[in-house]
């Protein structure tokens, strides 16, 4: 049997430490093709390039792996792979990461890492976004390799429901081994933003976004709890943002009968 075809992308850029770790793991499981941004794209969310040129070039950066860097966003990279580079083939798995920093809770909406995975899900492909909850430049990825490999194996063997991407977050390396996996929900938390007002050398005002992450969730069935307690969190995510539970409530409580355009 032929090896599974695995597409690898990320948002930290093609030269990041996390993608090197991810590629080395995926090479054990199948044929790997990398399409990743040529520079960091953190916080880009699901942005795509529509008003500028989009460039793609081959890079000899990973041993025995076809790799390409793109001037576009993470979502662009998956689109280019699916509809241009691999237009005559169908990836068996799309993996994104390993992100250098957390993508738990509300961060999934801003995450370029997860947007690459969600773009894969939009194309009907089994997709996973991997993130390490450690922003240090010296972050150690060694403790996540076993888990990345086995989660990817589970997806290759068992699949994922159509339209779903897995948001997988790992705790930082601690003195004790990771306890296991929690398949859970997204925590009720948010960023409380602050804008620092500053001035450039020419006296022109600019702003620098800062803020703090605040967790309002007291439950023990969410991704923030899992990470805090040294578990791997897996949150199944969907791109259909419809609040289905609100449809019946709005139809019940709102009165449309007298609304007519003359």
**Phi/psi zone of residue 95: left (φ > 0), alpha (ψ -120 to 50 degrees), beta?**
beta
Is 12 annotated as a binding-site member? yes
Residue 132: count of CB within 10 angstroms of its CB: 28
d(CA 71, CA 143): 31
CA 156 remoteness from chain centre? 18
99 belongs to an annotated ligand binding site = yes
How far apart, in whole angstroms, are the C-alpha atoms of residue 58 and residue 85? 11
For residues 13 and 41, give the distance between their C-alpha atoms in angstroms, rounded to a whole number.
7
Cβ atoms of residues 134 and 167 within 8 Å: no
* SS3 call for 47: coil
Per the annotation, where are the binding residues? 11-12, 42, 99
Per the annotation, where are the binding residues for a divalent metal cation? 11-12, 42, 99
């Amino acid at each position: 049997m032929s090896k599974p075809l695995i597409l690898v992308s990320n948002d930290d850029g093609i030269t990041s430490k996390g993608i090197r770790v991810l590629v080395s793991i995926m090479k054990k499981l199948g044929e790997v093709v990398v399409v990743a941004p040529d520079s960091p794209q953190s916080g880009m969310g699901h942005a795509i390039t529509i008003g500028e040129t989009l460039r793609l070039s081959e890079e000899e950066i990973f041993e025995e792996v076809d790799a390409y860097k793109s001037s576009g966003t993470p979502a662009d990279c998956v689109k280019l792979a699916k509809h241009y580079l691999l237009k005559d083939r169908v990836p068996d798995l799309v993996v994104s990461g390993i992100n250098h920093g957390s993508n738990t809770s509300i961060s999934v909406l801003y995450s370029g890492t997860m947007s690459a995975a969600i773009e894969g899900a939009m194309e009907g492909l089994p997709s996973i976004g991997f993130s390490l909850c450690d922003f240090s430049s010296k972050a150690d990825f060694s403790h996540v390799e076993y888990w990345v490999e086995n989660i990817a194996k589970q997806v290759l063997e068992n699949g994922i429901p159509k339209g779903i991407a897995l948001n997988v977050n790992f705790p930082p390396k601690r003195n004790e081994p990771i306890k296991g996996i929690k398949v859970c929900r997204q925590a009720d938390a948010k960023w409380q933003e602050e804008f620092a007002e500053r001035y450039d050398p020419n006296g022109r005002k600019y702003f620098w976004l800062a803020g703090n992450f605040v967790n309002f969730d007291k439950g023990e069935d969410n991704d923030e709890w899992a990470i805090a307690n040294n578990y791997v969190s897996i949150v199944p995510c969907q791109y259909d943002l419809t609040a289905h539970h609100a449809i019946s409530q709005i139809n019940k409580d709102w009165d449309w009968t007298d609304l007519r355009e003359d």
